[in-house]
Amino acid sequence: MFNKNPLRRRQYIGSLIGIGIGLLIFIILPQKAAEDFLSLGPMNTGHEGLSCNACHTDAKGNVMQQLQANIAHTFGARKKEVDFGTQNVDNNKCLECHDRPNDRHPTHRFLEPKFKDAIAKINATECETCHREHNDTRVVLADANFCVNCHYDLEVKNDPIDVPHSQLIANEQWSTCLQCHDFHGNHVYKTAEKIKDTIPLTKIQDYLAGGSDPFAQKKKHLPLSEEEWKKVKSKYKK
Amino acid sequence: MRKPKLSKVVIAIAITKLLTSCGGTIPEESSSEAISSNKAFSVEEILEMVAAENDITRTLYTKGIVGAGKKQGLKFDEDWQDDEVEAGPLPALFLRGISSDIRKSSVPLGLYLGSDFPINASNKLEGKQAELFKKIKANQKPQFFYDESQKLHTAMFADMAMAAPCVNCHNDHKNTTKKDWKLGDVMGATTWQYPSDSLSYKEAIGVLNAYRNGTKAVYNAYLAEIANFKNSKKPNIGKLWPSKGFNLPTAEVFIDSVRKLTSYKSLEVLVKKGAPVASN
């Protein structure tokens, strides 16, 4: 067949190379070992060993159905868009493993209208505002002074600490809050009563950046591991 | 002008058909949109109904569990979920727990508790809520508004001092901001939010169920906390209430009592409005 037109040979070889590369992509990329290559960046602290599909679960329907649904949405024939390929990773996904009854600052708390101004400054209704994934860290915020957004007018009665809260607030020392108070309130520890005994800011900053935990090793509730999460999932998947 | 070839037209139609209708569809997720017909209730009616259930539930918990339980030596604390604290949830925390549990369900219902003199500063009403709370304090009537920024229908209801323990605990609390509460005072307000202006029968039941399941979940969390007591004496958990000794009712007994007190009124609302209207 190459005798008819010598260009055919080039077409033929080109097609074979194209199909070959396509097949390699199709076989290699879905492998577990390729996950690092596909990832947007290194996982955050504690998530290092997670599989992509622990968070990026398959969206409902097949690709054609998803395509059709979104075209229908574009033309107004459908009220909501659907996820394409994988499901959107939102709070619910995080909470499947991290939900705890003792969370001192659960995201839904900030949906109350009174927090409107605060969440305009820091959107505490979304986990990813502070914990955006693929950043090789714990908290992506540059400073540890976010408490000011809600607690700016805090008054503490029977103040237990040697440098009173009123003084810390007057001096705008908002980065000292975390030296005693763990934001989500899951660590089991006793807070210091003297400022000099509190956790140094450098250790807090190191912790937020993914370093060791300065509050306590003991926690009241532990998040589900991927294996535990899978078990729970399969139990309720009927 | 050149006419497009027939084959091209056929291909275009085939692609359009393929992209829009082959292979079935993914159903719309939100039940509120899927069942847009038969919206039997206004959001105000349903929030009033669930707020009434909340009043009864909390009064029963405050009087029957906290008030009577304290007399028997049971402890209740703000930090009841802390590891070293062996206590039950105070009524405000009981509500906070229900609110959290509702958020875990698929029902888009928000519930918050606030006051102008809260014990915990984070529960102080602010902005629009504070403004409407002044009206609630004056006439005890519910207030409704549409929260533009969140696109949520919002209702506020008076949270009254219905039981002696409400007044006593708030007046005596070490962090209290007001020491002269008395029975019948408007101590605060519950704020409820829901995204649509009307609800179908199914959605209304969903709201009620989410609230009731929340009550059960928090009460069960309290019983689970008791099961883990290390240093405190554990009450007998069964059919008896603290008024009859060092007891606590099981979740079933507690919930059953709540339902006996609330169901008549709620059913009235649901049946009256939920029945199909005959068309002439």
Q: What percentage of residues in chain B have a pLDDT greater than 90?
A: 65
User: Does residue B28 sit within a domain?
Assistant: no
User: Does residue A141 sit within a domain?
Assistant: no
What is d(CA B19, CA A73) in angstroms, rounded to the nearest whole number?
A: 12
* Short-list B234, B162, B122, B231, CA closest to A154: B122
Residue A120 burial (10 A CB sphere; 0-12, 13-18, 19+) = exposed
Give the pLDDT mean for B26-32.
Answer: 65
State both tokens at A124.
């505490």
The whole domain housing A68 covers 42-88
User: Does residue B158 sit within a domain?
Assistant: yes
B177-192 tens-digit pLDDT: 899 999 999 999 999 9
State both tokens at A94.
């995080």
CA dihedral A116, A181, B189, B192 (to 10 degrees): 50
Task: Note whether A78 contacts B: Cβ–Cβ < 8 A.
Answer: yes
Q: pLDDT confidence of A233, banded at 50, 70, 90?
A: confident
The beta-carbon contacts of B96-100 under 8 Å, at least 24 apart in sequence, are B97/A101, B97/B214, B97/B217, B97/B218, B97/B221, B98/B54, B98/B211, B98/B214, B98/B215, B98/B217, B98/B218, B99/A108, B99/B214, B100/A101, B100/A103, B100/A106, B100/A108, B100/B214
Specify the pLDDT at position B276. 56
Task: Note whether B44 contacts A: Cβ–Cβ < 8 A.
Answer: no
**∠ CA(A6), CA(A10), CA(A13), 5° rounding?**
135
Residues of B in contact with A154 (CB under 8 A): 121
Cβ of B104 and A151 within 8 Å?
Answer: no
Specify the pLDDT at position A154. 87
Cβ of A69 and B26 within 8 Å?
Answer: yes
What is d(CA B88, CA B86) in angstroms, rounded to the nearest whole number?
A: 7
Give the pLDDT mean for A187-196.
Answer: 91
B129-143 tens-digit pLDDT: 999 999 999 999 999
A131-165 tens-digit pLDDT: 999 999 999 998 888 999 999 888 888 889 999 99
The beta-carbon contacts of B68-77 under 8 Å, at least 24 apart in sequence, are B68/B241, B68/B242, B68/B243, B69/B235, B69/B242, B69/B248, B70/B165, B71/B242, B72/B235, B72/B242, B72/B245, B72/B246, B72/B247, B73/B233, B73/B246, B74/B235, B74/B242, B74/B246, B74/B248, B75/B232
Say how far residue B99 (Cα) sits from the centre of its chain: 5
C-alpha distance from B249 to closest chain A C-alpha (Å): 22
Predicted TM-score of the model (pTM): 0.81
Together in a domain, A33 and A50: no
Arithmetic mean of pLDDT over chain B: 88
Say how far residue B246 (Cα) sits from the centre of its chain: 29
Could you tell me which chain A residue has the CA closest to the CA of B124?
A: A114
User: Does residue B215 sit within a domain?
Assistant: yes
Secondary structure letter of residue B240 according to DSSP: -
Last residue in a domain, options A51, A73, A88: A88
State both tokens at B142.
């519910």
Classify the C-alpha dihedral B131-B136-B141-B147 as positive or negative.
positive
Q: pLDDT confidence of A1, banded at 50, 70, 90?
A: low
User: Does residue B280 sit within a domain?
Assistant: no
Specify the pLDDT at position A167. 94
User: Angle at which helices B43-60 and B251-274 pack, to 10 degrees?
Assistant: 160
Task: Note whether A238 contacts B: Cβ–Cβ < 8 A.
Answer: no
Q: How many domains does chain B have?
A: 1
Residues of A in contact with B191 (CB under 8 A): 112-113
Comparing CB atoms, the residue among B20, B125, B154 nearest residue A71 is B20
Residue B20 has pLDDT above 80, yes or no: no
B121-176 tens-digit pLDDT: 888 898 899 999 999 999 999 999 999 888 999 999 999 988 888 888 899 888 88
Specify the pLDDT at position B246. 95
Specify the pLDDT at position B19. 75
A18-76 tens-digit pLDDT: 999 999 988 888 887 787 788 889 999 999 989 888 999 889 888 888 999 999 999 98
Q: What percentage of residues in chain A have a pLDDT greater than 90?
A: 57
**B39-42 and B198-200 beta bridge pairing:** antiparallel
Give the pLDDT mean for B230-247.
Answer: 94
C-alpha distance from A36 to closest chain B C-alpha (Å): 32
User: Does residue A49 sit within a domain?
Assistant: yes
User: Which residues face B249 on adjacent strands?
Assistant: B238
Find where tokens 């554990």 sit: B234
Comparing CB atoms, the residue among B20, B26, B149 nearest residue A116 is B149
Specify the pLDDT at position B280. 41
Could you tell me which chain B residue has the CA closest to the CA of A60?
A: B26
DSSP for B1-45?
-PPPPHHHHHHHHHHHHHHHTTT--PPPS-HHHHT-S-EEEEHHH
User: Does residue A206 sit within a domain?
Assistant: no
Could you tell me which chain B residue has the CA closest to the CA of A70?
A: B20
User: Does residue B21 sit within a domain?
Assistant: no
The phi, psi pair for A186, rounded to 5°, reads -105, -15
Instruction: Return left, alpha or beta for B140; rule: phi > 0 is left, psi -120 to 50 is alpha, else beta.
Output: left
Residue B279 has pLDDT above 50, yes or no: no
Q: How many domains does chain A have?
A: 2
Q: pLDDT confidence of B272, banded at 50, 70, 90?
A: confident
Specify the pLDDT at position B278. 47
CA dihedral A39, A40, A45, A50 (to 10 degrees): -30
Specify the pLDDT at position A8. 84
Residues of A in contact with B99 (CB under 8 A): 108
What is d(CA A83, CA A67) in angstroms, rounded to the nearest whole number?
A: 10
Specify the pLDDT at position A31. 82
User: Does residue A72 sit within a domain?
Assistant: yes
The whole domain housing B218 covers 40-273
Together in a domain, A46 and A66: yes
- The H-assigned helical ranges of A56-90 are 63-74
Residue B269 has pLDDT above 70, yes or no: yes
B31-84 tens-digit pLDDT: 444 445 578 899 999 999 999 999 999 999 999 999 999 999 999 998 888 878
DSSP for B37-65?
S-EEEEHHHHHHHHHHHHHHHHHHIIIII
User: Does residue B15 sit within a domain?
Assistant: no
Task: Note whether B99 contacts A: Cβ–Cβ < 8 A.
Answer: yes
User: Does residue A105 sit within a domain?
Assistant: no
Specify the pLDDT at position B34. 47
User: Does residue B245 sit within a domain?
Assistant: yes
Specify the pLDDT at position B3. 64
Specify the pLDDT at position B18. 75
A82-97 tens-digit pLDDT: 999 888 899 999 999 9
Together in a domain, A49 and A33: no
User: Which residues face B147 on adjacent strands?
Assistant: B152
User: Does residue A129 sit within a domain?
Assistant: no
A93-119 tens-digit pLDDT: 999 999 988 899 999 999 998 898 899
Specify the pLDDT at position B219. 96
